[in-house]
Structure 1
Amino acid sequence: MDAHLKPIGMDVPRWRVINILHECEYAPISRIADLAVIRVSTMTKLIYRMENEGLVETCISQADGRVTEVRLTEKGGKAIDQIRAKAGLIFERAFHDIPDDEIATFMKLTRRIYDNIY
């Protein structure tokens, strides 16, 4: 995936952050780290790099001054289309000859494994 994302200035960790923030208006760094399965300290560094790149913006939570919230910028929102186009091509190549019911079974099993770990 990284090889396909690199030409558009992305990588898998950035892809995860942008997808998470695309699904919700904003999220605390700790929540993004949980969803992306990345350590909070690593995610914090990534978020600030992405902020310098103009993909996200951060602000202190109004509810809790100890929490940094993150949201996509316009540039980050536009990046989702490019990222999804690349991911769609990879998904199509990987699953083109696998029936939908087998993909569904695979997804259920993957979810069970994930739930067992956490």
Structure 2
Amino acid sequence: MTEQVPSAISASGEFDIERWPFYWLTRVTGRYLHEMEIALKALGLDIPRWRVLMSLRGDKVLSVSEIADNAIVKLPTMTRIVQRMQSDGLVHCRQSASDRRVTEVELTDAGRRAGQQAWAVADGLYTRTFGNIPADDVTRLNRTLRALNRNLDD
């Protein structure tokens, strides 16, 4: 027997926004991004740069399209972000040796330093947000969010 999907409709037949999971996903995402914007601004960074820095963390070399996919940003937008970051000295770009149409991106020393500072900010926010949540619950949340993402892909 398949379990029924919980409804956002209350017993009285009214829509109850607090029973709508997308309400909570949107609120948490909005709050997280707001807190990150404030913290990153103090470092001279913003959310788009943060996403690039974290995609390239650990000395990765990725194409602009891979970074765009990680950051959930359209390719033309990511291309402009990477170009600005190159002008700022945070990343270095080169053509791929295997496919000259592909631009590969890697962090410069300044980009690694900026990434380390940004990571410290993000890790602090993560600890503040999840510090009182049991690890099993965080694992379950990640598993559920991955499943939701796959369902939306179908």
TM-score, length of structure 1 as denominator length: 0.93
Q: Which sections of structure 1, spanning at least 5 residues, go unmatched?
A: none
Q: 1:117 Cα shift?
A: 2.4
Q: 1:113 Cα shift?
A: 1.4
Per the alignment, residue 106 of structure 2 pairs with 71
Q: CA RMSD in A?
A: 1.2
Q: 1:89 Cα shift?
A: 1.3
* Aligned mate of 1:55, from 87, 90, 101: 90
Per the alignment, residue 93 of structure 1 pairs with 128
CA deviations 1:53-107 (Å, max 9, x no partner) are: 1000111111111111111101001112111110111111111221111111111
Q: 1:112 Cα shift?
A: 1.1
What count of residue pairs does the alignment treat as equivalent? 118
More displaced, 20-29 or 73-82?
20-29
When you count helix as a share of all residues, which structure comes out higher? Answer: 1
1:19 aligns with 2:78: no
Name the SS of the counterpart of 1:65 in structure 2: coil
Q: 1:115 Cα shift?
A: 2.0
Per the alignment, residue 110 of structure 1 pairs with 145
Q: Which sections of structure 2, spanning at least 5 residues, go unmatched?
A: 1-35
Give the Cα–Cα distance (whole angstroms) in 2 for the partners of residues 50 and 57 of structure 1.
9
Q: Counterparts in 2 of 1:8-47, with a 5 A limit?
A: 8-23=43-58, 25-47=60-82
Structure number with bigger Rg: 2
Structure with more relative contact order (C-alpha pairs < 8 Å, separation 6 or more): 1
Give the Cα–Cα distance (whole angstroms) in 2 for the partners of residues 81 and 24 of structure 1.
12
